[in-house]
Structure 1
Amino acid sequence: MPADEAATWPLPGLGHTGTRWQALTRATRADIVIGRLTEAHADACAITHELGAPPPRPGQLWGVWAAEPPDPILRAGTTGGRTLLSGRKPWCSGAGICTHALVTAETEDGAALFAVELSAPGVAVVPGSWHGVGMARSATLSVDFDDVPALLVGAPGAYVERPGFWHGAIGVSACWLGAAQAVAEPLLRSRRDDPITRAHRGAVDAALYAAHSALTCAAAETDAEPGDPRTARIRARRVRAIVEAAATGTIDRVGRALGAGPLAQDRVHAQRVADLTVYLRQSHAEHDLADLGALVAPS
């Protein structure tokens, strides 16, 4: 299964980060939803390694459910020496598919990270909590927890304060690149030879090459300097902005070059566009650019 293969990929920051990110790009180019779920499992492997927790085992599929909206709230409490999770967790990709998940939940000291076996009593997927066409196969649903046993993986702050949080964020952009390459296929293989089509094809090719180059450069930098959280954060913000712009431009230019035909008559292409459009919204757009601007501002 793809998850078992992903567990063998090099971990980020250990000398072969480029190999890891290239694998994510290939997986998502082949199937955007499978690539997205595989990325989460690969990230879970890296997180558990970095935080010293038991890793995913062969035959398992792990999600990383770490969205923290103001409401609803998933809470962790201790009863009889056991940690139990109760409440609702939204934005859980792979709900009903994954065997395990790393889940953030509120404690008295802030949000901590826990490992949960999803076959445990008290775990219930909320049907109908996703209405979009894009990423529909990813089963991104809300999940209810009712006194579900959990294992502490990272104390409050441990998950987001490590450099690996940002290495994982770049891994997501490697998936965006693969998805954009897939969306670009009808234009890149089109036999139209008019000047407008050639211009759009050239612009898409250049943008995707720039995104690929940014990931290649970032992989080398990550391997050379893996341990500084601020540097890792700046690097991730830059790469994600570059890849997001390339992917957004690809969607736009393919449509402008080829018109409505592929969107209306090519089911695979139409689904890819819908999936990538939703996937890119893991970026927080101008909020992320503002964060980068603050990080690189003169002191």
Structure 2
Amino acid sequence: MPESRITARPTLAPDAGSAPTSPSGYPSSVPTGDDIPAILAWCVEVGRTAPRVGDGSIAAVWELLAGAAHRNVATARVLEPHLDALGILAQTGTDLNSERDPWALRSLGVDDRSSWGVFAAEGPGMRVEAREDASGWTLDGTKPWCSLAADVSHALVTAFVGDERRLFAVSLAAEGVSPHHGPWVARGLPGIVSAPVDFTRAAAVPVGDVGWYLRRPGFAWGGMSVAACWWGGAVGLRDALAEAAAAEHADQVAFVHLGRVDTALWAARAVLSEAADLVDRRADVDMRLLAERVRTITVDAATLTLAEADAALGPRPLVADEQYARRVADLHLYLRQHHGLRDAARLGRLVLESEDAQ
């Protein structure tokens, strides 16, 4: 594997060179392994200078995410929600590198050293309610699938205000915030615990108006940012297939596996690149449909890559190569953020409803 740095190798730009580069302003070394405090510290440092989702630089954001995933899937899994949160805050006029704080986030101890999660999942029997009184807003209830809630300092959390949802910022060290520590028996992404959080009159600050979080175009952009991570992680498996195909004893079948994977990942790269251009140009397209297409194409390419790597390389790297085995396990779990047939059904409905379906 190459040195621990973000490189131009897994690039979304078709005319980029192949020499290692370190994008200006970003630290070059990418944390590997499961040292979550070290990964979070790196993500915070990167976040200070990284472009924001929504400022016309989404191609650069996706390059950064794909490059991080190419080196370590777990690092990208932590970086993506941190950058997503910073982009969401920027879309509301907040800049943690300046004095722009229209939603009074600093009352929660927020600054440019904060690490962020985005907790927007819903689950059966779990609901978070937001209420306002003379002392301000508080949250009550349980939120499922809160990644790294015991590790990050702050989070953006969706909560119900009546029948609609609104986004709130919370300090995860505050009184009334109780992250669960499991169950989490995952073999992939073992250090990135995604468990419920209980809120009991926990102080919160609204971010954006009621319903804004789900209506904004950036909601779709964030879903595609995850796809950029999937793609970068899968490119790392293509590297292993290329190494095997280049071996002296390789046969035609090794070339078949590499060719199938290269084609699928090249197609996904082209889709991500076009989507980035559409987003950055603010093209008049249905962003929901675009996001579903991008995620479906990318998850299919990554899933095929996992299957071809299994068939081509057999069990040996899964039991004898720590880095390879970890990448396979991490990527397999990460891909479960795509909900298979349910997401395909949603895409089908959007195709019928959207004027951009052709």
Fold in common (TM above 0.5): yes
The yes-or-no answer on 1:108 pairing with 2:159 is no
Aligned to 1:172: 226
Aligned to 1:275: 330
The yes-or-no answer on 1:2 pairing with 2:22 is no
| Structure 2 SS opposite 1:137 | coil
| C-alpha distance in 2 between matches for 1:19 and 1:53 | 21
Aligned to 1:198: 255
Are 2:181 and 2:193, in contact at CA under 8 Å, matched by a contact in 1? no
Aligned length: 297
| C-alpha distance in 2 between matches for 1:54 and 1:18 | 21
Are 1:123 and 1:148, in contact at CA under 8 Å, matched by a contact in 2? yes
Superposed CA RMSD in Å reads 1.8
| C-alpha distance in 2 between matches for 1:54 and 1:2 | 17
Aligned to 2:309: 254
C-alpha offsets along residues 234-286 of structure 1, whole Å, 9 cap, x if unaligned? 11111111110110000000000111111122222122111111111111222
Aligned to 1:212: 269
Q: Which moved more, 1:31-40 or 1:251-260?
A: 31-40
Q: Which moved more, 1:49-58 or 1:134-143?
A: 49-58
The yes-or-no answer on 1:263 pairing with 2:304 is no
Aligned-pair distance for 1:54? 5.9
Match of 1:237 among 274, 292, 303: 292
Aligned to 1:51: 92
TM-score (norm 1): 0.93
Aligned to 2:179: 125
Amino acid at match of 1:219: A
After superposing on structure 2, the runs of 4+ consecutive aligned residues of structure 1 that deviate more than 4 Å are: 53-56
| C-alpha distance in 1 between matches for 2:65 and 2:335 | 15
Are 2:53 and 2:83, in contact at CA under 8 Å, matched by a contact in 1? no
| C-alpha distance in 2 between matches for 1:57 and 1:215 | 32
The yes-or-no answer on 1:73 pairing with 2:142 is no
Are 2:131 and 2:137, in contact at CA under 8 Å, matched by a contact in 1? yes
Are 1:176 and 1:276, in contact at CA under 8 Å, matched by a contact in 2? yes
| C-alpha distance in 1 between matches for 2:227 and 2:165 | 25
Are 1:7 and 1:45, in contact at CA under 8 Å, matched by a contact in 2? no
| C-alpha distance in 2 between matches for 1:14 and 1:121 | 35
| Structure 2 SS opposite 1:10 | coil
The yes-or-no answer on 1:153 pairing with 2:207 is yes
Q: Which moved more, 1:263-272 or 1:171-180?
A: 263-272
Identity of aligned residues (%): 39
Q: Which moved more, 1:74-83 or 1:39-48?
A: 74-83
| Structure 2 SS opposite 1:43 | helix
| Structure 1 SS opposite 2:56 | coil
Are 2:116 and 2:153, in contact at CA under 8 Å, matched by a contact in 1? yes
| Structure 1 SS opposite 2:191 | helix
| C-alpha distance in 2 between matches for 1:196 and 1:261 | 17
Aligned to 1:86: 140
Aligned-pair distance for 1:53? 4.5
Aligned to 1:25: 66
Aligned-pair distance for 1:155? 3.2
Aligned-pair distance for 1:127? 2.1
Q: Unpaired runs of 5+ in structure 2? A: 1-41, 97-109
| C-alpha distance in 2 between matches for 1:7 and 1:239 | 28
Are 1:197 and 1:257, in contact at CA under 8 Å, matched by a contact in 2? yes
TM-score (norm 2): 0.78
Aligned-pair distance for 1:223? 1.5
C-alpha offsets along residues 61-109 of structure 1, whole Å, 9 cap, x if unaligned? 1000110112222221223331111222111111211010001112213
The yes-or-no answer on 1:136 pairing with 2:172 is no
Aligned-pair distance for 1:58? 2.2
| C-alpha distance in 1 between matches for 2:55 and 2:164 | 30
Amino acid at match of 1:218: A
Are 1:97 and 1:139, in contact at CA under 8 Å, matched by a contact in 2? no
Aligned to 2:340: 285
Higher RCO, 1 or 2 (CA under 8 Å, sep at least 6)?
1
Are 1:109 and 1:156, in contact at CA under 8 Å, matched by a contact in 2? no
| C-alpha distance in 1 between matches for 2:55 and 2:131 | 36
Aligned-pair distance for 1:14? 3.6
